Amino acid sequence: MTTMSLKGSRALLDAGRTTRFQALAVLLAASLLSACSPGQSGGSPSGETSAPSTATPTGSAGTPTGTLPPDAETSVPAPAPEPSAVPSGPGQGNAELAITVTPAEGEPEVNYTLVCAGGVPAAESEHPAADAACAALKENAGLLAPSAPATDKVCTEQYGGPQKATVSGIVDGVPVDAAFSRTNGCEISAWDAAKDVLGAAGGA
């Protein structure tokens, strides 16, 4: 009776061990399958690629191929050159001029206003010889733009007086900015040619 009880106990122990071993084997297999299953780990699976990024084409967006961007096209037509001086010879006789004459150094300036239309002085002219001045400008539109003496021209060394004058404004639509004096023969000739416009200030 005792021997049979011992054998039964051993059989039960062996059966329990076998059951536990099988259970451990099942758990181990389940763990291995879980570790190998995709999507279970926190990281991304090996070989998985991210979404492709949008590539930016080279060059400015919206610019057709072979066309320069607007900021590269800088060529503009050159403005027409302004006339450098009123040409000599008869003109239209239209003028708006401010004339300043200095009789001598230290003396007060004398100012004139000359406005001509068709060689005739306008009412707003304030000039001692407006009729003669407007007629002179119509006869020679380049009267107030004397050419510079040629380099080979010799101006006589003569002194005509301390008078100086400046004339600025417009003659026949062309800007005028001239200066006159009487310090040598060339300057005296230019003054005498424009004397109707410059007036008689200073006795010249």
Domain ranges for the chain, please list them. 95-203
Report the alpha-carbon distance of residue 68 to residue 158 in Å, rounded. Answer: 65
196: pLDDT strictly greater than 60: yes
Report the alpha-carbon distance of residue 204 to residue 195 in Å, rounded. Answer: 8
> What does 37-102 look like in DSSP terms, one character per residue?
STT-SSSPPTT--PPPPPPPPSS-TTPPTT---GGG----PPPPPPPSSPPSS-----EEEEEEEE
What is the pLDDT, as a whole number, of residue 135? Answer: 97
What is the pLDDT, as a whole number, of residue 79? Answer: 47
What is the pLDDT, as a whole number, of residue 86? Answer: 56
In angstroms, how far is CA 2 from the centroid of its own chain? Answer: 119
Fold of 95-203: Subtilisin Inhibitor (3.30.350)
Give the position of tokens 């007629």: 135
What is the pLDDT, as a whole number, of residue 103? Answer: 95
What is the pLDDT, as a whole number, of residue 43? Answer: 47
What is the pLDDT, as a whole number, of residue 155? Answer: 87
Give the number of other CB atoms < 10 A from CB of residue 164.
20
> Residue 204 in 3-state DSSP?
coil
Over residues 176-182, mean pLDDT: 95
Please, which pLDDT band fits residue 201 given cuts at 50, 70 and 90?
Answer: low
Q: Please give the share of the chain, as a percent, with pLDDT higher than 90.
A: 46
Higher pLDDT, 80 or 94: 94
Over residues 155-159, mean pLDDT: 89
Structure tokens at 47: 């070989």
168 contacts: CB under 8 Å, gap ≥ 6: 97, 98, 176, 177, 178
The model's pLDDT over 14-61, given as tens digits with 9 standing for 90+, comes to: 655 666 666 666 666 666 666 555 544 444 444 445 555 555 555 455
For residue 60, which phi and psi values (nearest 5 degrees)? Answer: -75, 140
What is the pLDDT, as a whole number, of residue 134? Answer: 98
The model's pLDDT over 89-124, given as tens digits with 9 standing for 90+, comes to: 789 999 999 999 999 999 999 999 999 999 999 999
192: pLDDT strictly greater than 60: yes
26 contacts: CB under 8 Å, gap ≥ 6: none
What is the pLDDT, as a whole number, of residue 154? Answer: 82
Give CA separation, 193 vs 45, 112, 136, 189, in Å.
Answer: 103, 18, 9, 6
> What does 133-175 look like in DSSP terms, one character per residue?
HHHHHHH-TTTT-PPPPPTTPPPP-----S-EEEEEEEETTEE
β-bridge partners, 189: none
Report the alpha-carbon distance of residue 150 to residue 99 in Å, rounded. Answer: 27
Higher pLDDT, 182 or 70: 182
Structure tokens at 35: 């570790």
Over residues 143-148, mean pLDDT: 74
Please, which pLDDT band fits residue 188 given cuts at 50, 70 and 90?
Answer: very high
